[in-house]
A and B are shown apart, each in its own frame.
Chain A
Amino acid sequence: NAGVTQTPKFRILKIGQSMTLQCAQDMNHNYMYWYRQDPGMGLKLIYYSVGAGITDKGEVPNGYNVSRSTTEDFPLRLELAAPSQTSVYFCASSHETGTGEVKLFFGSGTQLSVL
């Protein structure tokens, strides 16, 4: 199993450009998430999805959009990139284990710089 796969690994954008960060999982997880990680700030939730066709905002959704047309894929769209969106982006997926413990499986991240 590949787990959670993110592409690209690195990207440099100019201010105002747009791009899509790709995320795919092969574990048949219903739940998927996008987090961003900034130095000294931990990870913050951008958007999440509880299943195909269902998405909702997290803590820091402004400037981003998502879609979930299949169980496997959860792309994150940046419109009109801004320097404040310079960050490392992590996609994750999960299923509930039945014991009340939720284990998130993270991808390796996309390092994005907006200049």
Chain B
Amino acid sequence: QQQVKQSPQSLIVQKGGISIINCAYENTAFDYFPWYQQFPGKGPALLIAIRPDVSEKKEGRFTISFNKSAKQFSLHIMDSQPGDSATYFCAASYSSWGKLQFGAGTQVVVTP
């Protein structure tokens, strides 16, 4: 049973557009929500993370929005670039642990 549900499974966006990936969780004990980016043939790499005491965190073109009452969080990629084409995973854990519950992943393709 997937404790973190991620959608969409894939998306195609034009260069310069906005990519939006959504995740939902059930366990209210989760208190750390990272996003990982994975390129083909590579391991995932931490992109950005948020804790539930803030509603939004921005790092460059990447923004996490967090809705604690709805138990949902999302990743926005602004001004998407072809180099952003990758698989993105949301995740959740307790007490900032490395024991992460991952979503199923979203394959993002940015067309030129």
- List residues of chain A with CB within 8 A of the CB of B98: 31, 33, 48, 92, 94, 102, 104
B residues less than 8 Å from A106 (CB atoms): 42-45
The total of chain B residues at the interface (CB under 8 A) is 26
Determine the distance from Cα of A104 to Cα of B91 in the docked complex, in whole angstroms. Answer: 12
Query: Would you list which residues of chain A between 57 and 71 have a CB under 8 Å from chain B?
Result: 58
Query: Using Cβ atoms and an 8 Å threshold, which residues of chain A touch B36?
Result: 104
Which A residues lie within 8 Å of B6 (CB)? 42
Task: Number of A interface residues at 8 Å Cβ cutoff, please give it.
Answer: 25
Q: Can you list 7 pairs linking A and B with CB atoms under 8 Å apart?
A: A43-B100, A45-B99, A92-B98, A94-B98, A101-B96, A106-B43, A108-B42
Seen from chain B, the residues whose Cβ lies within 8 Å of a Cβ on chain A are 2, 4, 6, 9, 32, 34, 36, 41-46, 49, 51, 89, 93, 96-100, 102-105
